[in-house]
Amino acid sequence: GESVGLHLPTLSVQEGDNSIINCAYSNSASDYFIWYKQESGKGPQFIIDIRSNMDKRQGQRVTVLLNKTVKHLSLQIAATQPGDSAVYFCAENMNRDDKIIFGKGTRLHILP
Amino acid sequence: GAVVSQHPSRVICKSGTSVKIECRSLDFQATTMFWYRQFPKKSLMLMATSNEGSKATYEQGVEKDKFLINHASLTLSTLTVTSAHPEDSSFYICSASPGQFGNQPQHFGDGTRLSIL
């Protein structure tokens, strides 16, 4: 069935280090992927997206990598800051409709 | 840009009450909006797709008579939880996209915390 999952439910990273959050998806028909950040009590906030015709996309301090061969998606956050503490979700869309499917989420914890 | 507003942010009410939640796209028009439910420490679960001017499309297992959706304009969708009971307590979130999805991501409201006593 369609599913998007994450390898680690919790990730602890030293402040200033780089963070890497991983996501596995199972539907090879998915062609659009999004990373969202959700802080406590708030809705998901868009971070970065990538289409299936790309394997890398960079934003401000963030990079998304897509490996379609192994159906793997990752979010890299450079120089992790306390404000990066949140739950991160990957999401996928098959572009046949507007629906997106969310993964389980990874909580990023920043160590001082 | 692409701001989605939800109201109210929190509701506490008695069992049996019906509760209406509003989702507005503030600076764009949205023919489609989405409603999600999120339990503590869990991911977002899509409940239904709200279609402007037509019936909503519900995901499997979601009771359409329990969760009434109205999308009367291009900037407003409402979710009404009818005869709410404690098991309906949850975090409800809506989303919308300013363009054709696949070209632009969904933007989310800040959610509504519903607590049924």
The interface residues of chain A toward chain B in range 40-79, judged by CB-CB distance below 8 A, are: 41-46, 49, 51
Q: Which residue has the higher pLDDT, B114 or A5?
A: B114
Q: For A27-63, what is each residue's pLDDT tens digit?
A: 888 889 999 999 999 999 999 999 999 999 999 999 9
- What residue type is A14 in one-letter code? Q
Of B4, B44, B107, Cβ closest to residue A102: B44
Give the pLDDT of residue B87: 95
Least confidently predicted of B1-5, B20-24, B63-67, B86-90: B1-5
Q: Residue A18 — φ and ψ, nearest 5°?
A: -90, 145
Cβ-contact B22, B82 below 8 angstroms: no
Share of chain B above pLDDT 70, in %: 95
Give the pLDDT of residue B101: 56
Is residue B7 less than 8 Å (CB to CB) from chain A?
Answer: no
Q: How far apart are CA B30 and CA A55, in angstroms?
A: 30
B111: closest CA of chain A, how far (Å): 6
Give the pLDDT of residue A75: 98
Q: Which residue has the higher pLDDT, B24 or B102?
A: B24
Give the pLDDT of residue A1: 34
> Is B43–A89 a contact, with Cβ atoms under 8 angstroms apart?
yes
Residue B91 has pLDDT above 90, yes or no: yes
Give the pLDDT of residue A5: 52
Residue A98 has pLDDT above 80, yes or no: no
Residue B76 has pLDDT above 90, yes or no: yes
Instruction: Work out the pLDDT band at A6, boundaries 50, 70, 90.
Output: very low
Is residue B97 less than 8 Å (CB to CB) from chain A?
Answer: yes
For A17-43, b where at least 16 C-beta lie within 10 A, e where not — what string?
eebebbbbbeeeebbbbbbbbbeeebb
Q: How far apart are CA B71 and CA A24, in angstroms?
A: 34
Residue B78 has pLDDT above 90, yes or no: yes
Is residue B102 less than 8 Å (CB to CB) from chain A?
Answer: yes
Task: Give the number of other CB atoms < 10 A from CB of residue B2.
Answer: 17
Average pLDDT of chain A, as a whole number: 89
Is residue A23 less than 8 Å (CB to CB) from chain B?
Answer: no
> Is B111–A42 a contact, with Cβ atoms under 8 angstroms apart?
yes
Which residues of chain A are within 8 Å of residue B71 when distances are taken between CB atoms?
Answer: none
For B7-29, b where at least 16 C-beta lie within 10 A, e where not — what string?
eeeebeeeeeeebebbbbbeebe
Instruction: Say which residues have a Cβ less than 8 Å from residue A71's Cβ, sequence separation at least 6.
Output: A24, A25, A26, A28
A65: closest CA of chain B, how far (Å): 17
Q: For B16-50, what is each residue's pLDDT tens digit?
A: 999 999 999 998 998 889 999 999 888 999 999 99
- What residue type is A70 in one-letter code? V
